[in-house]
Amino acid sequence: MPDGITVTNRVDHTTERKLYNKVVDNTLIATTLMSRTMGMGSAFTGKTMDYTITVTEDAQFQWITGLEDLNSSAVDNTVELSYARTMGVQPKVQIDIETFANDGEAGTIPLNAFKYKEAAAVVTQKISTAIFGAGTANQPNGLGSFCDDGTLKSSIGGQSKTTYSVLEGTYTDSDGIMTLAKLSALDDAISASGSAEGSPSIKVTGKTVWALYEELLTPFQMANFNAGDMPKLPVHGKQVKRPGEFGATAGFTTLFHRNIPVIKDDSATAQAWYSLNENTFGWRGSNSVPSDLQDRYEKVDLGAGAGYQSSAAMVDMPPKPVGWFYRKDMGIPTQLGSIAYFVVIGQVNVWEPRRNGQLHSITGLE
């Protein structure tokens, strides 16, 4: 041990490393559904985002035979789904003595840049569980809030699922067994017949259920591709590609059900299979810094931060993703260090929950 203040791993592992000029993250490597949803998101505008939807059919159409009175009543058959922002934060702490220790030519990895990108990677992974939640307390809506018939959450967008059954997603008990027939029945329950826009665009599950499905497909799967040639779905794209066509882009290894991509996510709820229509929900994030806060906040650029090869999920995020902000480094008044925060501001908005569903409590095959 040297005399003086001990050099921690935070400094020692990022200084005087001549063979490599970056740190490879071996813990934050999972590509996530939340990265996909946020990466394909758009701006949140106004105090709330509101969607007017039809909840009952206009039943005034009639067949006539002659001069009978015609229907002419005004119809009140719409409600408003309303969504407000949520906010999540992740600190980035830096100690002054470590910055001194990392200064100069030997500091081959800029410590501040490294800490910046490391914290961004943590945020990306930590919020990935939110997309599978029910949007309770102060968290954004997740699949549990709209792939649900009211069992997990009784309302969506401020409206009751009991009052308006059209707001219910499909929530089906598998009775422990996954079969192709049950997966197809789930699709049929949430689909508009003959409509591509009204049909599932992606299926999501955890690794255990994904492996069960893989077993269910064998040997049919092997007739199409071997393990080294399995197709991949880009994090932000909808066009499945073979590995040879994919390049260095991050993506999901993909199986198929009814010709729809099936992906796996480490954050997925255990024993659940989700059938989703990505045309019916999406991330909406704040997209500008208010004028009163511009001295303290800036929009996040995940391309910044040399010296850190982060999670595949974060690397493939857009350069300026909506909803991501950075509260700039500020000195801690009573300590020799500084603190900054990553701030994620937005909401998962849902305008047609009935086009989404899940098969839950899957433990095995017949």
> In whole angstroms, what is the distance from residue 154 CA to residue 168 CA?
9
Cis peptide before 91 (omega within 30 of 0): no
Three-class secondary structure of residue 358 per DSSP: strand
Domain carrying residue 287 = 21-55+81-87+101-193+275-320+335-366
The pLDDT tens digits of the residues spanning 290-312 come to 999 999 998 876 654 444 555 55
User: What number is the average pLDDT over the span 238-250?
Assistant: 62
> In whole angstroms, what is the distance from residue 211 CA to residue 208 CA?
5
Question: What is residue 201's predicted lDDT score, i.e. its pLDDT?
Answer: 94
- Give the CA angle between residues 335, 327, 102 to the nearest 5°: 50
Identify the sign of the CA torsion 255, 260, 261, 266. negative
The pLDDT tens digits of the residues spanning 179-204 come to 999 999 999 999 987 777 889 999 99
Strands 308-309 and 23-24: what pairing? Answer: parallel
Note whether residue 260 is domain-resident. no
> In whole angstroms, what is the distance from residue 221 CA to residue 227 CA?
9
Cβ atoms of residues 167 and 178 within 8 Å: no
Does residue 258 have a pLDDT over 50? Answer: yes
How many domains in the chain?
1
Pull the structure tokens for residue 285.
Answer: 């994030």
Question: What is residue 112's predicted lDDT score, i.e. its pLDDT?
Answer: 65
Note whether residue 119 is domain-resident. yes
Q: Given pLDDT bands bounded at 50, 70 and 90, which one contains residue 25?
A: very low
pTM value > 0.85: no
Question: What is residue 3's predicted lDDT score, i.e. its pLDDT?
Answer: 44
Does residue 329 have a pLDDT over 90? Answer: no
User: Chain centroid to CA 356: how far?
Assistant: 15
Note whether residue 254 is domain-resident. no
Question: What is residue 23's predicted lDDT score, i.e. its pLDDT?
Answer: 40
Beta bridge partners of 162: none
User: What number is the average pLDDT over the span 329-348?
Assistant: 88
Pull the structure tokens for residue 334.
Answer: 């009573």
Element of type H or E holding 121: helix 111-126
Question: What is residue 236's predicted lDDT score, i.e. its pLDDT?
Answer: 67
Write down the residue that tokens 């309302």 correspond to. 155
Note whether residue 135 is domain-resident. yes
Cβ atoms of residues 206 and 131 within 8 Å: no
Length of the chain (residues): 366
Beta bridge partners of 252: 233
> In whole angstroms, what is the distance from residue 155 CA to residue 152 CA?
9
Q: How confident is the prediction for the chain on average, in pLDDT?
A: 80
Note whether residue 329 is domain-resident. no
Residues 6+ apart with CB under 8 A from 53: 78, 79, 80, 81, 166, 351, 352
User: What number is the average pLDDT over the span 329-358?
Assistant: 91
Nearest CA to 356 out of 281, 283, 282, 284 is that of 281
The pLDDT tens digits of the residues spanning 261-274 come to 999 998 899 999 99
Note whether residue 49 is domain-resident. yes
Other CB atoms within 10 Å distance of the CB of residue 134: 19
Nearest CA to 120 out of 323, 335, 349, 346 is that of 323
Does residue 317 have a pLDDT over 90? Answer: no
Other CB atoms within 10 Å distance of the CB of residue 148: 25
Question: What is residue 49's predicted lDDT score, i.e. its pLDDT?
Answer: 94
Cβ atoms of residues 332 and 338 within 8 Å: yes
> In whole angstroms, what is the distance from residue 288 CA to residue 45 CA?
10
The pLDDT tens digits of the residues spanning 50-108 come to 999 887 776 777 888 888 888 777 677 789 999 999 998 888 788 887 777 766 655 55
List Cα–Cα distances, 171 to 14, 152, 356, 358, in angstroms.
48, 9, 9, 5
Note whether residue 33 is domain-resident. yes
Question: What is residue 276's predicted lDDT score, i.e. its pLDDT?
Answer: 97
Question: What is residue 303's predicted lDDT score, i.e. its pLDDT?
Answer: 58
Note whether residue 356 is domain-resident. yes
